[in-house]
Amino acid sequence: MQNAGLGGWPYRRAQMSPGRTAIVHSGRATTYAEFATRVTRLADRLRAAGVSSGDRVAYLGPNHPSFVETMFATHVLGGIFVPVNFRLAAPEVGHVLADSGPSVLVFGPQCAGVVRDLAGIAPGVVVAVEGSVEGSDVGQHDYESWLAEGSAEPIDEVVDRDDVAVILYTSGTTGRPKGAMLTHANLIWNTCNLLVGVDVTSTECTLVSAPLFHVAALTQTLLPTFIKGGKAVITSSWDVDRVYELIECERITLVFGVATMFADLAASPRWYTADLSSLRHLLCGGAAVPESLIRTYQERGLTFCQGYGLTETAPGATFLEAGESTRKVGSAGVPVFFADVRVVSAEGEDAGVDEPGEVLVRGPNVTPGYWNDPAATAAAFYPGGWFRTGDIARFDAEGHLYVVDRLKDMFISGGENVYPAEVENAIVEHPAVVEAAVIGVPDPRWGEVGRAFVRYGSGGGPSREELREFLLARLAKYKVPVHIDLVEQLPRTGSGKVRKAELRKLPMSGRPVDSPPQRLDGGPDRVLATGGPSGRGDER
């Protein structure tokens, strides 16, 4: 084939395993042969709409087979796929579309209102998934009807592995999101790295419930499963009860999620009785898995594989195999097989053992840069092709990476550096805590102090003073948050990261730490308690 990129995958898989199931969605199964035909028809329609090499095609909507079809059809033509976070507001979506300039936009029915609001920005060809657009000015075509009009004659365009395959817009936790470009080679090498660390097989049945517009769901679950000829069970959202049903009825073998998702599974009443015997691989990213959660899963005979990475590294940079999950709890593992990782000081020198520094990554999985942003691209790299992650981490004596925090999230309290991730990890060691987020807030004496947002399980948890005493046994006093808020939920980006920028906007109540919690709805399990100064003494 002339197509050396991902666009050749549907044809190769259809030739090797035509009758094997590629995708299951809402109970409907699609074989690899059927999938290749649908991709070809869609590519023909995109070509008729003017899409060719280098042109962008955007997708806006929750997980759906049409997402996967649109991506591969774009790659058949050598185009660039732009998945858009469907949780964004219309102005945010408008920024992504204006920046990437797609020729075609495919959108899910949940996003019709947003697309309508973007009439002046949306491309000329707009395709609505699931349902007719008759009587509406939102979409010009119905997806299924439009696809069916396409030719099934295979297409083989010249595509180089170094061509850009996707533009993934970063979460935008600060400022406007940037479009990270990933080439076909970036995605292929990341797939290789994942397959080295995880024994994905042709019999894999992978649950794809994390959002596919996020790099981890796309490249750590969908693509490795596809290249091996496994089955991807796609759901539009994460629902604990539905996940349990799919694990049992589909015999799910591989699941990716963030720690919060796995904590929600373990907190369900079904945890103790559900049949989880089919599960072989649990992949977790976004943050280290708390030791208590690791042990909870081990008691069910399940073990996590953890990793560290980011959109710009496609995303795998380091990986911790399941056998090391307990001995190296909190670690993000060692560098993936086909990449190198360094930790450097502010002067750019390699940090010593257990010395924090910025993480640098170099390898064939690393982005060539940001779309239409040469200044940001130049600022992102050290000489020699080393990508600056903006994360602070340390290597232990055995070469295992421990991520300390985001460079931008670190704050200084009384002259001491405080890394919120370290404090968050200590907080979630309490068995009643489900998750936590820590930020720095102004303080007249210490410059900045910590403010923790903590979510307990349904059974409640300790008082703020009791939680503070719990932390004093684990952290230096200057690291223990002065303010503690008990919350129902934490605001998150589409990729599952906590939106700390939103937490920083919340007003301080100034109420003393031993004051009663402020109830949101009068119920015993749903409270928001905002703590003022915790009574910390002057001694540091």
The ranges assigned to domains in the chain are 1-160, 411-530
- One of 3.40.47.10, 3.40.50.12780, 3.30.390.50, 1.10.10.10 is the CATH number of 1-160, namely 3.40.50.12780
Q: Each residue of 198-224: b (16+ CB within 10 Å) or e?
A: bebeeebbbbbbbbbbbbbbbbbbbbb
Token pair for residue 217? 């769901």
Statement: 411-530 belongs to CATH 1.10.472.10: no
Contacts of 215 (CB under 8 A, 6+ apart): 168, 182, 310, 311, 314, 315, 495
Considering all CA atoms of the chain, what is the largest pairwise distance in Å, rounded to the nearest integer?
76
Q: In the prediction, which pLDDT does 495 show?
A: 64
Q: What is the pLDDT of residues 235-292, one digit of tens each?
A: 999 999 999 999 999 999 999 998 878 988 999 999 999 999 999 999 998 766 778 8
Each residue of 14-40: pLDDT tens digit? Answer: 999 999 999 999 999 999 999 999 999
Query: Are the C-beta atoms of residues 208 and 234 closer than 8 Å to each other?
Result: yes
Mean pLDDT of the chain: 88
- Once rounded to an integer, what is the mean pLDDT over residues 404-415? 76
Helices (H) and strands (E) in the chain, counts: 16, 29
Instruction: Give the pLDDT confidence score for residue 477 in this predicted structure.
Output: 84
